[in-house]
Amino acid sequence: MCCAEIAINRFSNSARHNVTCSPFAPLPLFAGWMSRDEPVRDFGDGAQAQSHSSLRRIHRVVVSTFVCIIALVLPAVADGRDLVVYGEPTLANALRSLGTLWNGRSGTRVNVLVAPTDLSYAQIERGARCDVIFAPAGGAADEAAHRDIVHGATLVPVFRNPVILVGNEPAVPRAMTSADVPALVTGKTIAIANPDRDPGGARALDFLRKLGRTAHQGDKTVLIAESSAGVMNLLATKKVEFGIVYATDAIDRVALTVALSDQEPPISYVMAEARNPASDTAPFRTFVQSREARATLRSAGLLPLEGSGGAP
């Protein structure tokens, strides 16, 4: 089998088994032109048959060369047409909204994958594709930069996520603060995210301790969920009366919400380029800090850092 035939077979297999890697449809008409088992037609004249045979060989070489070029060029084009973004689960809606905006502006599709940040760092370290990651600021992010999981030179603070109290009671007409919380939650069941894995859960536990509440096994009024989403599920199923979650988890709620920012500062997040990006991330990272992007982040419950620069 010649080199060109090998190339087209590889291209055909890619088209059959990895259709998402390229925006172009498979080219089945090449199969007849490239077949090694093509029957010899009887043209009634040996010279004419030889001429047609030579013409077919030339045709195959030309087509093979063309397909070789496609096989080499299209994967690079396809890879450059999308962006893979990692983030915490609570950021899913905000990041998808950003992705939709960026797609409309640039034509680049943004694939948002969410998981706890420690798992995301582990995936990047194992070689999983990631172009940009949004992660809680602090020691873990600094360590990721030190270990070259992310490029430290691209590490920049982008927004904060407030921690709030939510309840199943109807919203009250006046704005409430953390000073109103003790009276609200005394003797009531309350859920928080796992403080060992979730920064918001850790802030929630600190706040409850200030109220004299604990999360030890003997206190049946404080429930620990795996994540903020788990807290929201406990609220939705009426298994608890209150929960402490991220603002991004409760953006659409019409029931009672109380900001705790005066007691527990919002969670800060950074953005960084991952170790081996498959796409140019600079335009997207600049866009995230634009006025349009900041407005989108704000509508998702986040507090963009206005002074972080970026495009207008």
Name the nearest CA neighbour of 30 among 65, 63, 70. Answer: 63
Instruction: Give this prediction's pTM.
Output: 0.70
CATH no., domain 82-160+267-308: 3.40.190.10
How is residue 302 written in tokens? 């986040």
d(CA 41, CA 34) in angstroms, rounded, equals 16
Asked whether 249 and 232 are in contact (CB, 8 A), the reply is yes
How is residue 69 written in tokens? 């070029």
pLDDT tens-place values along the chain, 312 residues long: 444 444 434 433 433 333 333 333 333 333 333 333 334 334 344 444 444 444 445 544 443 443 344 334 334 433 557 999 999 999 999 999 999 999 999 999 999 999 999 999 999 999 999 999 999 999 999 999 999 999 999 999 999 999 999 998 776 656 777 788 888 888 899 999 999 989 999 999 988 888 887 766 566 789 999 999 999 999 999 999 999 999 999 887 767 888 887 778 899 999 999 999 999 999 999 999 999 999 999 999 999 997 554 443
CATH no., domain 163-259: 3.40.190.10
Cα 276 from chain centre = 16
Residues spanned by CATH 3.40.190.10 within the chain? 82-160+267-308, 163-259
Q: How many CA atoms lie within 13 A of 244 on its CB side?
A: 33
Asked whether 11 and 24 are in contact (CB, 8 A), the reply is no
